[in-house]
Chains A and B, each alone.
Chain A
Amino acid sequence: NAGVTQTPKFQVLKTGQSMTLQCAQDMNHNSMYWYRQDPGMGLRLIYYSASEGTTDKGEVPNGYNVSRLNKREFSLRLESAAPSQTSVYFCASTPRTGDIQYFGAGTRLSVL
C-alpha cells in the first residue's frame, strides 16, 4: 500500500535552475497539498487542490507553480530556484479538504 509517493527524495539545484517535484497518491483522494517545512517555521502551505481541475494558493505561493495533472497526481514546479527555497517539501492528500491528511516522505531540496 504505497499511499503518497514523492519524487525525487533529494535534489540539489543551482540558483536559477528549474525543476518539478512529483507527487502521486493511490487512495482515490480528492484533495492534495504541497507544504514546505523549515526549522522553526513548521509546515507552511504552498498550494492545494481541493479537487481535480482546481488549485488555490496557500500561505507561501510566491516562486512556485502547481499542476493537478489528474486525480492521482499533483506536481510542484520551481521555475527559477532561489536559495530561499531550500527546504523540505511535503505532499499530502485527503478524501476532502479539511479531512485527515496523509503525507509523503518528503523531498529535501538544496538551492546553492
Chain B
Amino acid sequence: QKEVEQDPGPLSVPEGAIVSLNCTYSNSAFQYFMWYRQYSRKGPELLMYTYSSGNKEDGRFTAQVDKSSKYISLFIRDSQPSDSATYLCAMDEGNTPLVFGKGTRLSVIA
C-alpha cells in the first residue's frame, strides 16, 4: 500500500460547481498537509498548507484534515475554467521529504 493514495481522475465539472478532491494516507506520523496546483507544462505551486485537523479557508478554497480517519480534502467553490489543473496532495512528518499523491487532473468546463 502506498503511503498516500489519490484518485487520479480525470475529473470534469461544469463552471460554478463545487469540487471535492481527496487523499488518504497510512502514516499516522504525518503532521503537515499541503495541496499543490500544477498547470499544464508548469511546476507545482503551493495552494494550501495546514498542520492540524479541521478546516482552513482561503477564498474559494477550503482544506480539510481528518487525522483520525487519515483523510484530507480540498474543496473548490464556484469553480472556474482557470481552476483547470492537476492538484497534488502532499504531507510529511516534519523532518523528512514531502510525500506526494499522484495528483488529480481537474477540468472545469465553461
* Interface of A toward B, CB cutoff 8 Å: 4, 33, 40-43, 45, 48, 58, 90, 92, 96-98, 100-106
Contact = CB atoms under 8 A, between A and B. Distances in A.
B57 interface: no
A40 B42 CA distance: 17
Contacts of A96: 95
Contact of B88 (A40, A42, A58, A102): A42
Given A97-B95, A98-B32, A98-B94, A105 B43 contact: yes
A40 B102 contact: yes
A42 B95 contact: no
A98 B102 contact: no
Contact of A45 (B41, B97, B103): B97
A43 B44 contact: yes
Contacts of A101: 44, 46, 90, 98
Contacts, number: 50
Nearest to A41: B102
B78 interface: no
Majority SS of interface residues in chain B? loop
Nearest to B94: A98
22 contacts: A4-B43, A40-B8, A42-B6, A42-B88, A42-B100, A42-B102, A43-B44, A43-B100, A58-B97, A92-B43, A96-B95, A98-B93, A98-B95, A98-B96, A100-B34, A101-B44, A101-B46, A101-B90, A103-B43, A104-B43, A106-B42, A106-B43
Contacts of A106: 41-43
B83 interface: no
B99 to A, nearest CB: 9
A100 B46 contact: yes
Interface string B18-56: 000000000000001010000001111110010000000
B92 interface: yes
A8 to B, nearest CB: 15
Nearest to B42: A105
A43 B46 CA distance: 14
B92 A43 contact: no
